[in-house]
């Protein structure tokens, strides 16, 4: 790319932001754009063909999380699934109670949705996490009241990679007759998920995080759980989500799920090895760095560190110039005044949060990619620290 004059390699390490569509997935989608382009609601061969393709994809998505096909609703993405789960349950169960529980470290699609419900008059408890970003199931239990109707705690934390004890939280929810939703956008395909074993009533998936196309997602809704639809119109998706189905997108998502399931155990092992190599390399080569997130209960593809005395965006720009894509929880990259709410909830200072860097590994990454990052990152840090008015490097 034009702005990467010195890059000797292209190393995409932002797979938690989005992933490329893998060739098998694109190949599965292609027939549905122009040839088999029917509307799945139509009463003719073009329509039946589309309907069948959707049914087939629904089976594949269900299979990845060990659900039944008719427990899967297709949506436009993880954000919509989160909104549908939370608003849908809150509105459907309003007469049963007014209290909702979530955590302080949810994705904005969950957090801002609870905040919107708070403005509508719901009572929301935001349970805190520990310094590793871990939610204590007992903290959730203590937050439950007589009028609690929904608990939503994510599975794999998107910034710091901590894997939350959703099975335990689900058990507590069930014990109290409260519905349990989990946002599994980052863990799906990386960590085995069985919605029944894990006591999950609603679960959010997003296609573009697992090498499927953007603009598609799904919500698992356990049989018997009632939702108030949030998009009204035609009688699609068991009348729970109106809108002409994105057939090629759904087909691609299905294929991505099928491949993810087949490759999960081996790919997880491979990513974990690369992850640990990168973490160890950074901690060894760069002084004044801390690892964010849990050291063990961690998504296989997530590395998150804070580079003290530096601000994240300035590191990202330098990395990009060297061909490396990563992300940061700095305020400058968040579109808000504050650095990442997740890092702050974990107890990081603002300053340390501004210096956070996330490397999210994926299918295309190799040992050589990690070596390359470990080669280019230290001089960038050194150069920027020499420019910084704070820290030992500043000489002040």
Partner 1 sequence: MYNDKVMDHFFNPRNVGEVENPDGVGQVGNPICGDMMRITLKIKDNRIEDIKFRTFGCGAAIATSSMVTELVKGLTLEEALEVSNKHVAEALGGLPPQKLHCSNLAADAVRAAIKDYYEKQGIGTDIEIDEDHHHDRGHEEEENIAHNE
Ligand X SMILES: Cc1ncc(COP(=O)(O)O)c(C=O)c1O
Give the residue numbers annotated as catalytic, written as ranges: 332
Tell me, what DSSP letter sits at residue 163?
B
Q: Which two tokens stand for residue 22?
A: 């893998």
Q: How many angstroms separate the CA atoms of 111 and 93, rounded? A: 19
Select the residue interacting with ligand X from 11, 54, 151, 185 (CB under 6 A).
185
Residue 192 burial (CB count, 10 A): 16
Whether the Cβ atoms of residue 38 and residue 55 lie closer than 8 Å to each other? no
DSSP 333: G
Rounded to whole angstroms, what are the CA distances from 170 to 117, 125, 130, 138, 196? 22, 17, 19, 12, 10
Q: How far is the CB of 214 from partner 1 (least distance, A)?
A: 12
314 touches which of a second copy, ligand X, partner 1, none (CB within 5 to 8 A by kind)?
A: partner 1
Candidate list 71, 183, 311, 369; residue touching ligand X; CB under 6 A: 183
- 182 interface partner picked from a second copy, partner 1, ligand X, none, CB below 5 to 8 A per type: none
Figure out which of the listed residues 152, 187, 314, 365 binds partner 1, where binding follows CB under 8 A.
314
Binds a second copy (CB under 8 A): choice among 118, 194, 285, 336: 336
How much of the chain is helix, strand and coil, in % rounded to 5? Answer: 45, 15, 40
Q: Which is nearer to partner 1, 194 or 232 (CB)?
A: 232
| Secondary structure of 97-139 as H, E, C letters | CCEEEEECCCCHHHHHHHHHHHHHCCEEEEECCCCCCCCCHHH
Q: Which of 27, 262, 283, 317 binds partner 1 (CB under 8 A)?
A: 317
Question: Minimum Å distance from CB 138 to partner 1?
Answer: 29
Q: Which residue has the tokens 């599975």?
A: 155
Residue 313 touches partner 1, criterion: CB under 8 A: yes
Under 8 Å between Cβ of 307 and 331: no
What does the alpha-carbon distance between residue 218 and residue 222 come to, in Å, rounded to a whole number? Answer: 13
Please select the residue that binds a second copy; options are 9, 60, 67, 78, rule is CB under 8 A.
Answer: 78
Work out whether 102 is an interface residue with ligand X (CB under 6 A): no
Residue 183 interaction partner, one of partner 1, ligand X, a second copy, none, beta carbon < 5-8 Å per kind: ligand X
**Beta-ladder partners of 352:** none
Query: Which residue in the set 50, 64, 72, 79 belongs to the binding site for ligand X (CB under 6 A)?
Result: 79
**Which of 152, 182, 186, 352 lies at the binding interface for ligand X (CB under 6 A)?**
186
CA distance 361 to 72: 28
Return the residue nearest ligand X (CB atom). Answer: 78
> Which of these segments, 132-140, 188-196, 233-241, 373-381, binds a second copy (CB under 8 A)?
233-241
User: Which of residues 6 and 95 has its CB atom nearest to partner 1 in the complex?
Assistant: 6
Q: Does 18 bind a second copy (CB under 8 A)?
A: yes
Tokens of 34: 């122009």
Q: How far is the CB of 77 from ligand X (least distance, A)?
A: 3
* Closest to 344 in 3D by CA, of 137, 125, 108, 131: 131
Distance CA 54, CA 242 (A): 15
In the complex, the residues that contact partner 1 under the rule CB under 8 A are 3, 14, 16-18, 39-41, 43, 48, 51, 108, 158-159, 186, 209, 233-239, 242, 244, 309-314, 317-318, 321, 327-335, 337, 339-340, 349-351, 354, 358, 360, 386-390, 394-396
In the complex, the residues that contact ligand X under the rule CB under 6 A are 77-79, 82, 107, 109, 154, 158, 183, 185-186, 206, 208, 217, 243-244
């Amino acid at each position: 790319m034009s702005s990467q004059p010195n890059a000797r390699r292209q190393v995409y390490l932002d797979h938690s932001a989005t992933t490329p569509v893998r060739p098998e997935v694109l190949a599965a989608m292609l027939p549905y754009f122009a040839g088999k382009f029917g509307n799945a609601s139509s009463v003719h061969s073009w329509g039946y063909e589309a309907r069948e393709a959707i049914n087939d994809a629904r089976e594949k998505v269900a299979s990845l999380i060990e659900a039944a096909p008719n427990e899967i609703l297709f949506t436009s993405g993880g954000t919509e699934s989160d909104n549908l789960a939370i608003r849908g349950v809150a509105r459907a169960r309003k007469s049963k109670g007014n209290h909702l529980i979530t955590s302080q470290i949810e994705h904005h699609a969950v957090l801002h949705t609870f905040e919107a419900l708070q403005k509508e008059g719901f009572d929301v408890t935001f349970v805190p996490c520990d310094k590793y970003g871990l939610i204590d199931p007992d903290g959730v239990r203590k937050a439950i009241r007589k009028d609690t109707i929904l608990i939503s705690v994510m599975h794999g934390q998107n910034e710091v990679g901590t894997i939350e004890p959703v099975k335990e939280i689900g058990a507590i929810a069930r014990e109290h007759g409260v519905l349990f939703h989990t946002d599994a956008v980052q863990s799906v395909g990386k960590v085995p998920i069985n919605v029944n074993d894990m006591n999950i009533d609603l679960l959010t998936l997003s296609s573009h995080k697992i090498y499927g196309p953007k603009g598609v997602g799904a919500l698992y809704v356990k049989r018997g759980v009632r939702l108030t639809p949030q998009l009204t119109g035609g009688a699609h998706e068991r009348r729970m989500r109106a809108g002409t189905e994105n057939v090629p997108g759904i087909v691609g998502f299905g294929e991505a799920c099928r491949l993810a399931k087949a490759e999960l155990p081996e790919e997880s092992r491979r990513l974990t090895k690369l992850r640990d190599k990168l973490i160890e390399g950074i901690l060894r080569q760069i002084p004044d760095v801390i690892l964010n997130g849990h050291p063990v209960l961690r998504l296989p593809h997530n590395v998150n560190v804070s580079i003290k005395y530096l601000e994240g965006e300035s590191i990202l720009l330098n990395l990009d110039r060297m061909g490396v894509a990563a992300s940061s929880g700095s305020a400058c990259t968040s579109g808000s005044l504050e650095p990442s709410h997740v890092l702050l909830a974990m107890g990081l200072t603002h300053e340390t949060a501004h210096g956070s860097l996330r490397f999210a590994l994926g299918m295309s990454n190799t040992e050589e990619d990690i070596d390359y990052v470990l080669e280019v990152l230290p001089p960038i840090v050194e150069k920027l620290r020499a420019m910084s008015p704070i820290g030992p490097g500043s000489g002040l």
